[in-house]
């Protein structure tokens, strides 16, 4: 499958390398993308592990995992990134509602590795209610794994992805 981060690369040549620790992200954007792909592939442990140490104290793998599992992660859009920040929008469906979360995230290096600190959320919108028999929202917010097929939501992203 293609990488959930939207890079157009195969997952195993993109974020999976970071998630399985064969490679380490060399920029905040790579880390951010890999964290989104970890959410999309339901890998709460990686999301936890890539928080800065001070933030890990406030987080629980179980809570992250529950959130990852509850959401259908559709698409990631990177607006801007520089040496220590990334501004992105993540599109996801939870409780049959399509949401956009736009955030400017802050990153730091700890023991040679990029880590996520926190972010300022600038947009957190409920875009539309998604019904099981309506066209899947990935037609407008293309995921890496299904685009413009006009399938019903229940036959498309509602089934989630299989790795
Ligand atoms: Zn990727
Ligand atoms: Zn879909």
Ligand nearest to the CA of 30: 1
Neighbours of ion ligand 1 (CB under 5 A): 3, 5, 7, 14-15, 33
CA of 145 to the centre of ligand 1 (A): 12
Q: What is the pLDDT of residue 163?
A: 32
The predicted structure's pLDDT at residue 66 = 95
- Picking from 37, 123, 55, 54, the residue whose alpha carbon sits closest to that of residue 46 is 37
* Burial annotation 14-26 (CB, 10 A radius, 16+ → b, else e): bbbbbbeeeeebe
Within the chain, which residues score under 50 in pLDDT?
A: 161-163
In a domain, 74, yes or no: yes
In a domain, 163, yes or no: no
CATH number at residue 76: 3.10.450.50
The pLDDT assigned to 15 comes to 97
Identify the pLDDT of residue 1.
Answer: 83
Half-sphere exposure of 71 (CA within 13 A, CB side): 26
Closest ligand to 15 CA?
Answer: 1
Q: What is the pLDDT of residue 162?
A: 40
User: Can you count the helices (H) and strands (E) in the chain?
Assistant: 5, 4
What ligand has the least distance to the C-alpha of 72?
Answer: 2
Contact 92, 101 (CB under 8 A): yes
Q: Ligand 2 center to residue 34 CA distance, Å?
A: 21
Domain count, the chain: 1
Q: Does a structural domain hold residue 152? A: no
Domain of 77 in residue numbering reads as 11-130
């Amino acid at each position: 499958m293609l990488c959930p981060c939207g890079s157009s690369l195969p997952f195993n040549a993109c974020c999976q390398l970071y998630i399985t620790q064969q490679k380490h992200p060399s920029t905040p954007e790579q880390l951010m993308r890999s964290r989104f792909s970890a959410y999309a592939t339901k890998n709460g442990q990686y999301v936890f592990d890539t928080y800065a140490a001070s933030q890990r104290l406030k987080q629980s793998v179980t809570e992250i995992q529950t959130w990852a599992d509850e959401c259908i992660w559709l698409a990631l859009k990177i607006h801007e990134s520089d040496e220590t920040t990334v501004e992105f929008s993540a599109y996801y469906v939870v409780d049959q509602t399509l949401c956009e979360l736009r955030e400017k995230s802050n990153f730091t290096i700890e023991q040679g590795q990029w880590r996520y600190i926190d972010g300022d959320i600038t947009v957190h919108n409920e875009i539309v209610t998604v019904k099981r028999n309506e066209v899947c929202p990935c037609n407008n917010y293309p995921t890496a794994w299904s685009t413009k097929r006009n399938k019903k939501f229940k036959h498309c992203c509602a089934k989630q992805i299989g790795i």
